[in-house]
Amino acid sequence: MELALIKLGGSLITDKDRPYTAKPEIIQQLAGEVSAIALQNPHLKLIIGNGAGSFGHQSAKKYNTINGISTDVDKFGFCLVHQDAIDLNRLIAKAFLQAGLPVISLPPVTMGVTENKKPIKFNYSIIENTLAAGLIPLVFGDVVLDKIIGGTILSTDTVLAELAKHFHIKENLRVQLINVGNYPGVYDQYGQVISEITSANYPHIKNFLGESKSVDVTGGMLRKVKEFLAIADLGIDCWIIDGAVPGNLTNAVLGKSALGTLIKA
C-alpha cells in the first residue's frame, strides 16, 4: 500500500497580495491533476492539505493566535482564524468534488491538542477510517487547543508531516510527501534547481540556502529543506515542485520525470 500526501501551497492557490482571494484556475488545474493521478493509480491512497495563503494569515496575524489565547478577544480571534481557514478549504473541496474526487474536509482542530505548540495526543482515527473507506481526507492548517497556552496554530506543513510519519511508522505504508508551490524547487548558488538533496550533499547546499530567493512565508527555504530532510531520514521521499507547470504534480506523484527537488535519505 502506498500513500501520497500532497500539500497545495498557500502562495500557489491564493493571491498573497489580496486578502481572501483564491486563484480558481490553478485550483481547478490541481484538482484535475489529482484526478488524473487517482485514475492512473487507483490503489494509491491520497491525503490533500492546503495552505492558508491570504485567507488564514489575516486574522492569524491580527490576533497573534499562534502565541496563545487567554483573553476573550484572543478566543474570538481563534474562532475567526478557524473560519477563515474553512473558507479557503471549502473552495478547494468544491473544486476537487467538481473533478469527481471523493474528498472530505476534516479540520485538524478536532484531532488533538498541543502542549506549548507541540502536537501531543493526536487521534488520527478519522483519517485512517476515511482512507480505509476509499475517501480522500482534505486537511489544512488549523487552530488547535493547547494545554499550556490555551490555543495555537498548526501549519499545514506540520499536520501533513505528522500524518506522513504516522502512516509510515504505524501502518508501515510507503509514503511520499509532495510540496506543491509556486516556485520551481530549491535553487543552487547559480540559480539552477537542485534535482536531489540528501544528507550527503546537504552540508554543501545549506551554505547558500539562507540567501536563496525562493523563500516563502512559513520561514524560508532553509527551514523547509531541514524539516524535509528529517522526514526523508525516516524513509519518506519529499518533493518540492512547481505546481504552476501543468502536469508536473501528476508526474511527480506517479514517479515520472518532474521539475523540482527531491529530498531523500
> Could you list the residues that contact a second copy (CB under 8 A)?
69, 72, 75-76, 78-80, 82-83, 86-87, 90, 93-94, 97, 100, 102-107, 109-111, 113, 123, 126, 129-130, 133-135, 143, 145, 150-151
Nearer to a second copy, 135 or 215 (CB): 135
CA 145, 147, 151, 154 torsion-angle sign: negative
Nearer to a second copy, 113 or 244 (CB): 113
Considering only CA atoms, which of 89, 7, 10, 2 is closest in space to residue 48? Answer: 7
Nearer to a second copy, 79 or 244 (CB): 79
Nearer to a second copy, 141 or 151 (CB): 151
Query: Least distance from C-beta 93 to a second copy, angstroms?
Result: 6
Query: Least distance from C-beta 233 to a second copy, angstroms?
Result: 31
2 bridge partner residues: 44, 174
Query: Least distance from C-beta 14 to a second copy, angstroms?
Result: 18
Query: Least distance from C-beta 204 to a second copy, angstroms?
Result: 44
Nearer to a second copy, 101 or 229 (CB): 101
Query: Least distance from C-beta 87 to a second copy, angstroms?
Result: 7
Cα–Cα dist 241/79, whole Å? 32
Nearer to a second copy, 83 or 195 (CB): 83
**H-helix segments, the chain:** 10-13, 24-40, 53-63, 72-98, 125-132, 156-169, 202-209, 220-232, 248-253
Cα–Cα–Cα angle for 92, 180, 206, rounded to 5 degrees: 150
47 bridge partner residues: 5
Query: Least distance from C-beta 82 to a second copy, angstroms?
Result: 6
**Which letter, b or e, does each residue of 93-106 get, where b requires 16 or more Cβ atoms within 10 Å of its Cβ?**
bebbeebebebebb
CB atoms within 10 A of CB 45: 20
Query: Least distance from C-beta 69 to a second copy, angstroms?
Result: 7
Residue 150 half-sphere exposure toward CB, CA atoms < 13 A? 16
Nearer to a second copy, 77 or 184 (CB): 77
- In sequence order, the 6+-apart residues with CB closer than 8 A to the CB of 73 are 63
In the sheet where 150-154 sits, what is the strand order? Answer: 118-120, 113-115, 142-146, 150-154
